[in-house]
A and B are shown apart, each in its own frame.
Chain A
């Protein structure tokens, strides 16, 4: 192929790519991504290395930072496992943020209005509420997708804003704590509605659930017939139809599960970390989750690892605020890394070779 913009190089298709090569490409992509984002920091007169050093120091440089990184990892991993399931079927569910909110809403409902229930009933009830509410919220874009092929990327994203304002309505309105000095938050959950934590950290036992879900997804994809159907429907709808797999049913089920797992993340956040519902329950977990799923190539165990790394980046971002930077600038690093990961993908399937003259 002649590729004018590549000069004397050309791209050859290769079908083999070793695990080592894949790993090497991923690491290189991350480094290049950080360098690229660093350029923007550099041209505005700041030292990117110092910035990265601060992020590293505050996230994994102390035992407190390390534990906080794990706290952030939990919602990221849940949401990312959720979206990865949809991505596997080529369903671009980018509504994890909203599904997270609605899951938190469902779980909070029981914590606030059935506060007399014993812990042993309350916690499973809250997990189920988060699961079901998140799943139902994901069905809102899934139904038009399944029946009329309505673009789920845009529709699922638009619903994030609806979920956000619904939450704002609750915490500013009917659910506001009357004794909360007018802050947009509900009253604190009863003890029975809070997840246990490890020692004196803020890491809740929800981390076990994250691992269980990761294993379950691995088994589902690798060994179950349905997992196989999802992958086939994802790569070719025609092949799936031909094999008698119901596309509509699979879209609905996959999107429900995808949203439901993000819904559990919302439950885990209000029950395990915040112990109340408030307007700001997420610094964009649902969006970072997309990046994590892509970076991990949808592999559930890689998702756990990448969630840890991105959790560290978030913790680092919070600490940058003390130096006068907005914490949301970490999305600049995330986006930049994703650019290079996507561009690097081509080297997994293709090889750059010098043109023979």
Chain B
């Protein structure tokens, strides 16, 4: 295997990891505020279908992305109402959101199947940086949404660990009654976190339908939303580790696709299983580690907050 081929696999890995990165970052935000949202898969699908619909008919990918953000946010709003106001099980509500989103996207996209895209995100080489040997081709010859996702990781890291808003967000997920006692509005903070999380899942969906494989196919996220949720545990709720996990996953996925081209005699179905098995193994290993270190998981994750029961 020559170097150029390895570079091509790694560059494709970054692309394959990007939709998962967006979704993972969104889930990190929601879970940091104490709300588990298993509806990522559904939010991604609705994001993907709305981005493709709007992007294709207006011939404007940016408008498509914008609408995907709104759609993802609205989907998350449903979860917020059910879990924050009605204090229902976050697991059950998230599952409902995924089921709902699968059906809604299939319904909305019924006339989009087979339609060619008119406006997509294409690779834009960054001057100078893209000339760096090896790294340039892997990281700096990508589409704008890849660059945006890297910037987003930096922003989130800064907000989480260097600002008061980030401190508040993390505190809500750790000890909501203490934050409440300080006079902050728990419900508002959780609402914002869940909705922003949904918007990012929508962006992940938009990446699928406008950049990764520009088209609409029913159920096109194919479990990536679930992989994103699993990666949050791997990331120990840290945006930087989410980036690492998403890219690692992306490389595994692209390796699977390229192995056959290299003449490795493994049936393609086994290669298709690879990312899911990999995520499963990563989930088991990191959970064991996290348990050992007794750190990471927001203490109030999954617990509805009620002022009278505090």
Q: Do A and B come from one complex?
A: yes
- Taking beta carbons and an 8 Å cutoff, which residues of A are in contact with B? 1-6, 13, 37, 40-41, 44, 92, 94, 144, 148-151, 153-155, 157-162, 165-166, 168-169, 172-173, 287, 290-291, 294, 324-326, 328-336, 338-339, 342-343, 345-346
- Give A170 to B132 CA distance when docked, in angstroms: 46
Which of these binds chain A: B1-9, B151-159, B168-176, B268-276? B268-276
Interface pair A332/B100, CB less than 8 Å apart: yes
CB-CB under 8 A for A151 and B96, given A2-B307, A165-B270, A339-B78: no
* Cβ contact of A342, chosen from B82, B223, B226, cutoff 8 A: B82
A154 near B226 with CB under 8 A, answer yes
Question: Which residues 214-244 of B sit at the A interface, judged by CB distance below 8 A?
Answer: 218-219, 222-223, 226-227, 229-230, 233
Does B269 lie within 8 Å of A338, measured CB to CB?
A: no
B283 near A150: Cβ-Cβ < 8 Å: yes
10 A-B Cβ contacts within 8 A?
A1-B308, A40-B107, A153-B38, A162-B273, A165-B269, A172-B269, A290-B95, A290-B99, A332-B104, A343-B81
Q: A166-B273, A342-B82, A342-B93 are in contact. Are A331 and B100 (CB under 8 A)?
A: yes
Chain B residue nearest to A159 (CB atoms) is B280
Contact check, A5 vs B96: say whether CB atoms are below 8 A apart. Answer: no
Stretch at the interface among B14-22, B84-92, B123-131, B205-213: B84-92
12 extra interface residue pairs, beta carbon distance < 8 Å, beyond A158-B226, A342-B92: A155-B230, A158-B277, A161-B276, A162-B277, A168-B272, A169-B269, A173-B269, A325-B110, A329-B104, A329-B110, A331-B99, A338-B96
Which residues from chain B contact A161 at a C-beta distance below 8 Å?
222-223, 273, 276
Distance between Cα atoms of A41 and B106 in the complex (Å): 12
Question: Chain B's nearest CB lies how many Å from the CB of A120?
Answer: 35
User: Within 8 Å of chain A (Cβ to Cβ): is B263?
Assistant: no
Across the interface, do A342 and B88 meet the contact criterion of CB distance under 8 Å? yes
Which residues of B lie under 8 Å from residue A153 when comparing CB positions?
38, 91
Which residue of A1, A3, A4, A339 is within 8 Å of B100 (Cβ)?
A339
Most chain A C-beta atoms within 10 Å of own C-beta, residue among B38, B226, B306: B226
Find the A residue at minimum CB distance from B288: A148
- CB-CB under 8 A from B273, the residues of chain A are 161-162, 165-166
Within 8 A of A (CB), among B168-197: 185, 187
Q: In the complex, A149 Cα to B292 Cα: how many Å?
A: 12
A2 and chain B: residue at smallest CB distance: B307
Chain B contacts of A94 at CB under 8 A? 95
Residues of B within 8 A of A169 (CB): 267, 269-270
B299 to A: closest C-beta gap in Å? 15
Judged by DSSP, the binding face of B is helix
Do residues B269 and A154 form an inter-chain contact, with CB atoms below 8 A?
no
Contact of A328 among B98, B185, B218, B272 (CB under 8 A): B218
Measured CB to CB, the closest approach of chain A to B154, in angstroms, equals 27
B88 and A345 contact, CB distance less than 8 A? yes
Contact partner of B101 (CB less than 8 A), chosen from A159, A335, A345, is: A335
User: How distant is the Cα of A5 from the Cα of B85 in the complex, in angstroms?
Assistant: 8
Whether B107 pairs with A332 at a CB distance below 8 angstroms is yes
A contact face: mostly helix, strand, loop, or mixed: helix
Query: Contact flags (1/0) for B99-129 with A, using CB distance below 8 Å?
Result: 1111110111010000000000000000000
| Cβ contacts under 8 Å, A40 to chain B | 104, 107-108
Cβ-defined contact, A346 with B87, below 8 A: yes
Task: Assess A335 versus B96: contact at CB under 8 Å? Given A144-B287, A149-B291.
Answer: yes
Q: Is the CB of A287 within 8 A of B267?
A: no
Q: Are A345 and B86 in contact (CB under 8 A)?
A: yes
Q: Are A154 and B230 in touch, CB under 8 angstroms?
A: yes
B97 beta carbon closer than 8 Å to chain A: yes
Q: Is the CB of B85 within 8 A of A155?
A: no
- The answer to the question of B250 belonging to the interface, with a C-beta cut-off of 8 Å to chain A, is no
Using A1-B307, A40-B107, A153-B91 as known contacts, say yes or no to A343 and B82 having CB atoms under 8 A apart. yes
Q: Which residues of A contact B104 (CB under 8 A)?
A: 40, 329, 332, 335
B284 within 8 A of A: yes
Are A331 and B103 in contact (CB-based, < 8 A)? yes
Q: How far is the CB of A158 from chain B (nearest CB, A)?
A: 5
A-B pairs, top 4 by smallest CB distance, nearest first, are A335-B100, A332-B103, A331-B103, A169-B269
- Give every chain A residue within 8 A of B287 (Cβ-Cβ): 144, 148-151
Contact among A2, A165, A335 for B103, CB-based, below 8 A: A335
**Which residues of A sit under 8 angstroms from B87, Cβ to Cβ?**
346
Tell yes or no: B142 within 8 A of A by CB: no
* Residues in chain B near residue A159, CB distance under 8 A: 276, 280
Bound-complex Cα distance A4 to B223 (A): 37
CB distance from A79 to the nearest CB of B (A): 14
CB-nearest residue of chain A to B307? A1
**Of listed A149, A158, A172, residue having the most chain B CB within 10 A:** A158
Is the CB of B204 closer than 8 A to any CB of chain A?
A: no
Closest chain-B Cβ to A6's Cβ sits at a distance in Å of 7
Q: Which residue of A lies closest to B292 (CB)?
A: A148
- Smallest Cβ-Cβ distance to B191: which chain A residue: A5
**Least CB separation from A41: chain B residue:** B107
Report the bound CA distance from A161 to B223 in whole Å: 8
Contacts of A144 in B (CB 8 A): 283-284, 287
Residues of B within 8 A of A2 (CB): 307
Per the bound structure, the CA–CA distance linking A168 and B96 in Å amounts to 27
Q: Which residues of chain A are within 8 angstroms of B96 by Cβ–Cβ distance?
A: 291, 335, 338-339, 342
Given contacts A162-B277, A165-B273, A335-B100, are A44 and B108 in contact (CB under 8 A)? yes
- CB-CB < 8 A to A158: which residues of B? 223, 226-227, 230, 276-277, 279-280, 283
**Can you name the residue of chain B whose Cβ is closest to the Cβ of A144?**
B284
Q: Is B42 an interface residue (CB 8 A)?
A: yes
